[in-house]
Amino acid sequence: MEIVSSVSILAAIIGVVQVLKMSGLPSRFAPLASLLLGVSFSIYFLHDSSYITVFAGVVAGLTSSGLWSSSKSLIGN
């Protein structure tokens, strides 16, 4: 996965999960939503459903979830 598409997918996942949480998704389901969105976005944007693309989506979902939680802890919220 190219670096530009990786960063774009991470930003899209974080944004969509935040919209879902504002519209009523409980926070405990946010990591699962990130994981599912990561796999979905990577398959959609990369036009491939191989196991490498699915694995890249799993990594993107888990990374976006961790990136968000670590940035919240650094800020102090």
Per-residue pLDDT for the chain (77 aa), expressed as one digit of tens each? 566 667 788 888 989 999 999 999 998 898 899 999 999 988 888 777 788 888 888 888 888 887 777 666 667 65
Tokens 């650094």, residue? 74
Range of the domain at 53: 3-75
Q: 28-34: long-range contacts (C-beta < 8 A, 24 or more apart)?
A: 30/65, 31/61, 31/62, 31/65, 34/61, 34/62, 34/64, 34/65
- State residue 3's pLDDT score: 62
- State residue 1's pLDDT score: 52
- State residue 4's pLDDT score: 63
- State residue 6's pLDDT score: 72
Structural domains in the chain (count): 1
Flag whether the pTM goes above 0.85: no
